[in-house]
């Protein structure tokens, strides 16, 4: 019986076993021409008998294909597993990749120095391409991908300096600014006068665009917004809880709040309940995403729906097209996609 200690059989071992040269084994294994069928047969038998698996290190040198795509989420695992946004997006990605027999490798970032390590792995020929999301403003990953020439698609509009000039940049996003505008316009239509906002991290374009949408609806510039109505969150429920408390302290008469995602909105609901404010009678609440936390919240959340799973699928499709593993429905080259955002009205507003 084989044990885990045994090292894997080498190309040399196969060559010796089959009584042929190393080059011949290599040619048979990698599907090269110029080897007689009886020799091929011999090599295949030896490969079978020794349990030889062609080292992709070698195979990659020839085909430059690994059959795997990296999905890099620039967040620690604790956040990735706590926010259903990521699970949903991964579901869409994984389905699309599986349809093209491509393996998903998920990488998350626990610490600052993980960037260098992930960059090394991505540059080293172990993957055919990368999907990156939840990037922050100064994220080094896009530059790493660029330097290595690795095909990449981004989740969310890239926000790094110079991103707009990169003609070939591929990304999938939703119309965050319009979504936020719809949310705040809805609150205005319901007669709300003092509408606060809880932002996600403003080094992410999704959070920044939603803040712009909030300001659009109020008819003010971002720097003219009433500061006591703007609180900073971090896309977590706990962050929403704390931000809501600060808002109530700074502007006790507020009658509505728009939160940059459903998790922060559900945190805000907890604070409002603890402070004895009724939702929606005293304070209306609107979230963003329309994932489970919105439907499970009490009361269920009015929110802005984005098709997170579908966007994941589109990211994967764009990447597969760029790599050459998939073709689009028309002859046009792959291009960025912006999906629409839709208001979903429930009991919280």
Residue list 28-57, contact with a second copy (CB under 8 A): 51, 53-57
| Shortest reach from residue 7's CB to a second copy, in Å | 5
Residue 239 is a binding residue for a second copy (CB under 8 A) = no
User: Is the preceding peptide bond at 167 cis, omega within 30 degrees of 0?
Assistant: no
> Which CB atom, from 126 or from 212, has the smaller least distance to a second copy?
126
List 44, 84, 338, 339, residue binding a second copy (CB under 8 A): 84
| Shortest reach from residue 13's CB to a second copy, in Å | 11
| Shortest reach from residue 48's CB to a second copy, in Å | 11
DSSP characters over 26-83? HHHHTT-S---HHHHHHHHHHHHHHT----HHHHHHHH---SEEEEEESS-HHHHHH-
Residue 259 is a binding residue for a second copy (CB under 8 A) = no
3-state helix, strand, coil in the chain (%, to 5): 45, 15, 40
The span from the CA of 150 to the CA of 324, in Å, is 13
Close Cβ partners of 158 (under 8 Å, ≥ 6 residues apart): 135, 142, 166, 169, 171, 205
List 17, 134, 135, 151, residue binding a second copy (CB under 8 A): 151
List 22, 23, 58, 300, residue binding a second copy (CB under 8 A): 58
List 13, 16, 39, 87, residue binding a second copy (CB under 8 A): 87
User: What is each CA distance from 96 to 103, 114, 202, 333, 348, in whole angstroms?
Assistant: 10, 27, 30, 19, 35
Question: Which residues, 3 to 32, sit near a second copy by CB under 8 A?
Answer: 3-9
Half-sphere exposure of 218 (CA within 13 A, CB side): 25
Choose one: 100-108, 194-202, 221-229, 269-277; the region binding a second copy (CB under 8 A). 100-108
Q: 141 with 74: CB under 8 angstroms?
A: yes
Residue 188 is a binding residue for a second copy (CB under 8 A) = no
Choose one: 85-93, 205-213, 229-237, 266-274; the region binding a second copy (CB under 8 A). 85-93
User: What is each CA distance from 195 to 78, 191, 218, 227, in whole angstroms?
Assistant: 31, 10, 9, 12
Question: Which residues, 103 to 132, sit near a second copy by CB under 8 A?
Answer: 103-108, 110-111, 113-114, 117-118, 120-121, 123-126
The span from the CA of 161 to the CA of 137, in Å, is 8
List 21, 45, 78, 188, residue binding a second copy (CB under 8 A): 78
DSSP characters over 236-293? SHHHHHHHHHHHHHH-TT--EEEESSHHHHHHHHHHHHHTT--TTTT-EEE-SB--HH
The span from the CA of 179 to the CA of 177, in Å, is 5
List 94, 261, 303, 349, residue binding a second copy (CB under 8 A): 94
| Shortest reach from residue 271's CB to a second copy, in Å | 18
Choose one: 26-34, 77-85, 254-262, 282-290; the region binding a second copy (CB under 8 A). 77-85
> Which CB atom, from 14 or from 196, has the smaller least distance to a second copy?
14
Residue 327 is a binding residue for a second copy (CB under 8 A) = no
How many residues form the binding site for a second copy (CB under 8 A)? 71
Three-state secondary structure call for residue 327: coil
Residue 60 is a binding residue for a second copy (CB under 8 A) = yes
Longest dimension (CA), the chain: 87
> Which CB atom, from 41 or from 77, has the smaller least distance to a second copy?
77
Count other Cβ atoms within 10 Å, centred on residue 12.
10
> Which CB atom, from 71 or from 284, has the smaller least distance to a second copy?
71
Choose one: 96-104, 133-141, 185-193, 231-239; the region binding a second copy (CB under 8 A). 96-104
Residue 295 is a binding residue for a second copy (CB under 8 A) = no
């Amino acid at each position: 019986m084989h044990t885990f200690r045994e090292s894997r059989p080498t190309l040399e071992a196969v060559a010796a076993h089959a009584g042929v040269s190393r080059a011949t084994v290599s040619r048979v294994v990698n599907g090269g021409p110029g080897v007689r069928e009886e020799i091929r047969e011999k090599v295949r038998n030896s490969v079978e008998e020794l349990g030889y698996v062609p080292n992709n290190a070698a195979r990659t040198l020839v085909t430059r294909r690994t059959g795997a795509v990296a999905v890099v989420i620039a967040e620690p695992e604790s956040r990735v597993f706590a926010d259903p946004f990521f699970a949903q997006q991964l579901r869409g990605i994984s389905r699309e990749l599986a349809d093209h027999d491509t393996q998903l490798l998920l990488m998350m970032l626990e610490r600052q120095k993980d960037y260098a390590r992930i960059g090394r792995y991505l540059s080293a020929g172990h993957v055919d391409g990368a999907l990156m999301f939840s990037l922050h403003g100064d994220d080094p990953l896009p530059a790493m991908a660029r330097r290595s020439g690795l095909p990449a698609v981004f989740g969310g509009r890239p926000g790094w300096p110079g991103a707009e000039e990169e003609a070939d940049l591929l990304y999938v996003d939703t119309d965050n600014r319009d979504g936020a505008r719809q949310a705040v316009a809805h609150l205005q239509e319901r007669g709300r006068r003092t509408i606060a906002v809880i932002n996600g991290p403003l080094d992410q374009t999704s959070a920044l665009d939603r803040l712009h949408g909030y300001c659009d609806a109020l008819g003010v510039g971002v720097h003219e917004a009433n500061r006591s109505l703007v609180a900073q969150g971090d896309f977590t429920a706990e962050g929403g809880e704390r931000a809501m408390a600060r808002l109530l302290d700074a502007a006790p008469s507020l009658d509505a709040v728009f939160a940059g995602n459903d998790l922060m909105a559900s945190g805000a609901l907890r604070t409002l309940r603890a402070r004895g404010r009724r939702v929606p009678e005293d304070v209306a609440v609107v979230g963003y995403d329309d994932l489970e936390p919105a439907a499970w919240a009490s009361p269920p959340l009015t929110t802005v729906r984005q098709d997170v799973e579908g966007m994941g699928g589109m990211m994967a499709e764009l990447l597969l097209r760029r790599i050459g593993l998939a073709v689009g429905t028309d002859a046009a080259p792959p291009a960025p996609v912006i999906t629409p955002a839709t208001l979903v009205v429930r009991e919280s507003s």
